[in-house]
Amino acid sequence: MNDHSLISSDRVEGTSVYNTAGDKLGSIHTLMIEKTSGHVSYAVMSFGGFLGLGESYHPLPWNQLHYSTEHDGYVVALTEEQLKGGPRYETANESDWSRDNRSWPTVVDSYYGTAGADLGGVGPMADRTRRL
C-alpha cells in the first residue's frame, strides 16, 4: 500500500459525489465505521438545503462509492432519483445509528441490495451499482 491510498475521515467528509455522467449529486456528510473491524460501512450523503438548512441525508453503502482522480471526488453508478428515493433523514443529528436507529443498516442494505455483500451487491439495485 502506498502513502497516497490513505486519507483521514475529515478529508472525506465534504467530498463531492458524482454520477457516472459527471454530474454532481451531493457531498459526503459523514462516514459510518464498523466499531470492531474499523471498516467504513456507509457514507451519509447530503443533498440540497442552504447553509445546512433543509438538507436531507442519504446513507449509502461505502462499497458503492469509487474514488475518481478525474473528478477529485467519488462516483456512484446511481441516478439522483435512485439516491433520493432511498432511505433518508432530515436532521444531521440522526446519523448516530448506534443510539438513534439500529435498523438503519438493514433498511439501507435492503434498498441497495447489499445485505451480506462485501464488494458487489445483489438485489434490484445491484446491476446499477457494480464497480465502475
Domains of the chain are 8-128 (2.30.30.240)
Q: In what order do the strands lie in the sheet with 66-68?
A: 56-61, 40-47, 24-33, 16-19, 73-76, 66-68
Residues 6+ apart with CB under 8 A from 21: none
* Residue 59 contacts residue 46 (beta carbons within 8 Å): no
Q: What is the pLDDT of residue 126?
A: 42
pTM here?
0.75
Specify the pLDDT at position 8. 84
- The segments of the chain whose pLDDT lies below 50 read 1, 119-132
State residue 48's pLDDT score. Answer: 73
